[in-house]
Structures are given as C-alpha cells and as structure tokens.
Chain A
Amino acid sequence: MIELSGVHKRFGENRVLQGVDLTVASGTSMVIIGGSGTGKSVLLKCILGLVRPNSGTITLDGQDVTKADRDAFLARFGMLFQGGALFDSLKVWENVAFRLVRGAKPLPKPQAREIAIEKLRRVGLKPETADLFPAELSGGMQKRVGLARAIAANPEIIFFDEPTTGLDPIMAGVINALIREIVTEMGATAMTITHDMSSVRAIADNVAMLHGGVIRWTGPVSELDATPDPYVQQFIHGRAEGPIAAIR
C-alpha cells in the first residue's frame, strides 16, 4: 500500500503540492487526473524519490520511502515515462532488459534477451523489433517498448506517466487495453497520471483528482460521473466554465 500524508513540494515560489493525502491499496489501479501543470508528475516523482518533498510523509507498506534501501525500493517499481525515455544508444531489447542485466543478480545476456523478446511480444511487438534502435520506431511503438521495459522485471508497482499522450485514438486505446490487461494479469499496484478521460475509464479502479496542490476528490471510477464535485464535473466534461480557471 502506498500512503501519502501532507506532502508539500515547491519550486522557488511555485507551490506545486500543498498537502497531498492519498492512499493507494495494493493490487489496485489508481488514476490521478488534473489539469496540465497541477503537479501530477511531481507527485509520482516524489514517491520514486526523483524529487524530494519539502514536507510530509510517503510510505510504502508502512515504511518511509526516504529511509528505505534505494535499490531494494526501486526494484519493486516499473515506470512508463511520458515520452518513453528509451535510451537512444541501446537497441530495443537492451532497453527492455536494462534492469535484468544489471543490479545485484544480473542475468546472462542471452537469457535477458529472451525475456525482453517475450515482453515485447506481450505488448504486441514482433521479435524483429528487438534489434532496432529507438529512433527507428514510431511513437506508439516507443510507448510499447517503454511499457515492456516497465514490466520486464515483473514489478509489484507500476507507474504510468501520461501513457497515451501524443498517440492517435486507436493506438491510445491499444495502450490503455494493454495497461489494464498487464496490471490485472500481474496483480500489480498501478498509479497512472493522465488527463485523457478514455484512459481513466479503461485503466482505473479508483480515481483521484489533483487540483490546487491537493487531492480535491477521490473515489471509485464507478462514482466519478455521479459526484457533485464541481471541479471533477468541469474536468471530466471538459467545460471552459467552472471553478477551474481556463487560463492558468
């Protein structure tokens, strides 16, 4: 279980997170929604330790993440970055197998390559893709490779940062379906940040809306449409009028 309590983060005068309280139960899929620049990515990065919060506590299964052994802590995570964040200088299979051939118990390369090809197949990519470089792939294929890398070491927790940004609706649907399937199949805890409502409905068990540096609303995805919260209603229906300023 991931628990955030009173998490604050500011960059200079810009107070991005102003007391975030959130609980993500093990084995569930939490989607965080919110407008651009509301601090969704910062929130994920705080959990991963890529950004240090100014105050508040973040625990994973009751243990403070800032005091955990970093390698053991990160070994439990997989992350799909917004732009894929694939390493340009490495082949596709080397990207996917990156964690497998390093760390405390590195696998022999042929075995790691086999696993990488299997993971590529799992995300709908042919084995021939394995020996290409990331620059030779389309945006959708890069996202799939990023997804394969995120699941390569069978992590307990997977983060997805804007998984469908920049993709056409069909490819976005494919990625959403893949994420849902993989999370269910692996029994992993998932945390996704997006402002794409089709992703929310496809991926989420629970939804939390981040606005003004705090969680405005959280609940099961089945209650999302019925909630009277004006912030949520404006966001999910994409209205220009409402409590959320259109110009930020």
Chain B
Amino acid sequence: MTAALGAIGRPVLLALASVGRVALFAAQVIAHILRPPFYLRELGHAILQIGWFSLPVVALTAIFTGGALALQIYAGGSRFNAETVVPSIVAIGITRELGPVLGGLMVAARVASSIAAEIGTMKVTEQIDALVTLSTNPLKYLAVPRVLAATLSMPVLVAVGDAIGIMGGWLVGITRLDFNSAVYLKNTVDFLEGWDVGSGLVKGAVFGFIVALMGCYHGMTSARGAQGVGAATKAAVVSASVLILASNYVLTEVFFTS
C-alpha cells in the first residue's frame, strides 16, 4: 500500500516541483523586464530571429489551413444547405482559434527548440558562467530579450496569419467552390467582429511568452553534453506545445463563455 502511494506521490511531487521552478523562473523574467539595464540590441536581434524569420512558416501554415477550412465547412455545410456560411466561419475560425494556435505551435517548433539548443549549448560550453564572471546576469541578458521579443512578435505574426488564412479561404472559395469574390469578402467583413481578431492577438501574445519562456527555461536547466542539450530541446518543444493548447482552452473559456 505504501509502495503504491509512493509510486503515485513521487511523480506528483516531481511535477509540482517542476511547476514551481517554471513559475519562479517566469516571475524572475517578468521582474527583470521592468528593471534596467535594458539590452535593446539583443531585443532587436531576438525580434528579427523570432518574429521576422517565422513569417514564412506562419504564412504557409495559415494559407493552407484557410483553404482546407473552407473546403471542410463547405462540405459540412452542404449537408443542411448552409454553404453560404463558409466566409464567416472561415474568418471566425482562423482569427479566434486556428491562426493563434497553429501559429503558436509552428513558432514553438521553430523558436522554442532553437532557443533551448542555443542557451543549452552556451551552458555546457561555460558561456553562461563566463557571462556571470563578466558581471552580466544571464537571465536578463539571454532570457528577457527573447521572452519580450516573442511576446511582442507573436500578435503581429497572428495578425499576418489571420489575413493570409482568410485569403486562403477566399482563394479556395472563388476558385473551387464557385463563390463570387465580392460576396465572399463582404460576408467575411460583415460577420467578423473586432473581438474575434483581438482575442486571437491576445492569445498570440500569451503563446509567444510561453514559447520563449519554455525555450529559455529548458536551455538554462540543460544537463551536460550533447544528450543534455538534445533533451532540453525536446522538452522545450513538448512543454511549449502542451502549454499552448492548455492555455488556449483556458483563454477561450475566459473570453467566450461568460
């Protein structure tokens, strides 16, 4: 009986300890965002790496998702003669859910992995120790610019993804589903509300924070050697993806059920 309780209790305690460590790390990062010195050059570099260079992957994801969504809604809607809802459902689906979530997952795969690998390698090659001996706080120098850059960049990426996703639906609508272009666009605009877009942008900011936080946390806690860095990279992507999906549910509850 004791052994069985122990087998359940140990992983629970370990999981709670991990949650505590991540929460503490997040609190430290947030506290340092507000305190000088501010590493603006590193912030600019991180915005370029995280935001600008993620645009192609987010755009490709959005255009194919928008197109597929239009086909699915058309096929589903035709069962009860509701094909005309395609433009509005594509727009709402992309802006509220698929834009931020799929964009977040793609950025998690691309950015969380690269941040964890970069910082993990810095740790195993003593570059993080070197930062400390050079009177530079590694958390402030490495984590803060990346977390801030991802939090600021993701809403922009989501906005671009929304526009391209809707365009993907429109393209499929007018070329494959015989929609009139002007009617499709009018339906999109008429039924789309500001909060549909706004909620997706807020989600994007939260997902960006999660992605960079997980990359930095797992990089900084990476074990020694190539295997340690590999494990940190994997853990960063998995934890960022799971947290994006979980927080998406929570945010959807908060935004749309009250």
A50 contacts partner chain B, Cβ-Cβ < 8 Å? yes
Q: Mark A58-90, 1 if CB is under 8 A from B, else 0.
A: 000000000000110011011101110111110
A103 contacts partner chain B, Cβ-Cβ < 8 Å? yes
* Residue of B whose beta carbon sits closest to that of A161: B126
Q: Mark B59-86, 1 if CB is under 8 A from A, else 0.
A: 0000000000000000000000000000
Q: When the two chains form their complex, are residues B135 and A81 in contact, meaning their CB atoms are under 8 A apart? A: no
Size of B's binding interface in residues, CB under 8 A: 13
Complex Cα–Cα for A231 and B131 (A): 36
Q: When the two chains form their complex, are residues B129 and A102 in contact, meaning their CB atoms are under 8 A apart? A: no
Q: When the two chains form their complex, are residues A83 and B125 in contact, meaning their CB atoms are under 8 A apart? A: yes
Interface size band for A: 20 to 34
User: Contacts of B136 on A, CB cut-off 8 Å?
Assistant: 98, 102
Q: When the two chains form their complex, are residues B135 and A85 in contact, meaning their CB atoms are under 8 A apart? A: no
Q: When the two chains form their complex, are residues B130 and A99 in contact, meaning their CB atoms are under 8 A apart? A: no
Q: Mark B122-163, 1 if CB is under 8 A from A, else 0.
A: 100111011011111000000000000000000000000000
Contact of B133 among A48, A82, A83, A88 (CB under 8 A): A48
B198 contacts partner chain A, Cβ-Cβ < 8 Å? no
A201-229 interface (Cβ within 8 A of B) = none
Contact of A98 among B45, B122, B132, B134 (CB under 8 A): B134
A45 contacts partner chain B, Cβ-Cβ < 8 Å? yes
Complex Cα–Cα for A70 and B135 (A): 8
Complex Cα–Cα for A51 and B135 (A): 15
Contact of B126 among A70, A78, A82, A149 (CB under 8 A): A82
Q: When the two chains form their complex, are residues A50 and B129 in contact, meaning their CB atoms are under 8 A apart? A: yes
User: Contacts of A89 on B, CB cut-off 8 Å?
Assistant: 45
Q: When the two chains form their complex, are residues B134 and A81 in contact, meaning their CB atoms are under 8 A apart? A: no
Complex Cα–Cα for A237 and B242 (A): 57
Q: Is the interface of A mostly helix, strand, loop or mixed?
A: loop
- Knowing A74-B135, A103-B135, the reply to whether A81 touches B130 (Cβ < 8 A) is yes
Complex Cα–Cα for A50 and B134 (A): 12
Complex Cα–Cα for A48 and B132 (A): 9
Contact of A74 among B45, B126, B127, B133 (CB under 8 A): B133
B56 contacts partner chain A, Cβ-Cβ < 8 Å? no
Complex Cα–Cα for A50 and B123 (A): 12
CB distance from A41 to the nearest CB of B (A): 9
Q: When the two chains form their complex, are residues A74 and B132 in contact, meaning their CB atoms are under 8 A apart? A: yes
Complex Cα–Cα for A79 and B130 (A): 8
B225 contacts partner chain A, Cβ-Cβ < 8 Å? no
User: Contacts of B132 on A, CB cut-off 8 Å?
Assistant: 48-50, 74
Complex Cα–Cα for A79 and B45 (A): 27
Contact of A45 among B45, B129, B134 (CB under 8 A): B129
Q: When the two chains form their complex, are residues A85 and B129 in contact, meaning their CB atoms are under 8 A apart? A: yes
* Residue of B whose beta carbon sits closest to that of A101: B41
Q: When the two chains form their complex, are residues B126 and A102 in contact, meaning their CB atoms are under 8 A apart? A: no
* Residue of A whose beta carbon sits closest to that of B128: A85
Complex Cα–Cα for A74 and B137 (A): 12
User: Contacts of B45 on A, CB cut-off 8 Å?
Assistant: 89
* Residue of A whose beta carbon sits closest to that of B141: A102
B37 contacts partner chain A, Cβ-Cβ < 8 Å? yes
Complex Cα–Cα for A88 and B126 (A): 12
Q: Mark B80-111, 1 if CB is under 8 A from A, else 0.
A: 00000000000000000000000000000000
Chosen A-B contacts, 20 in total, with CB atoms closer than 8 Å, are A49-B132, A50-B132, A70-B135, A74-B134, A75-B135, A79-B130, A81-B129, A83-B125, A83-B126, A85-B127, A85-B129, A85-B130, A87-B127, A88-B127, A98-B134, A98-B136, A99-B134, A102-B37, A102-B134, A103-B135
User: What residues of chain A have their CB less than 8 Å away from a CB belonging to chain B?
Assistant: 45, 48-50, 70-71, 74-75, 77-79, 81-83, 85-89, 98-99, 102-103, 149
| Interchain residue pairs A-B with the least CB separation, the first 3 | A85-B130, A85-B126, A74-B135
Given contacts A48-B132, A50-B129, A102-B37, 4 further A-B contacts (CB under 8 A): A79-B130, A82-B126, A85-B129, A102-B136
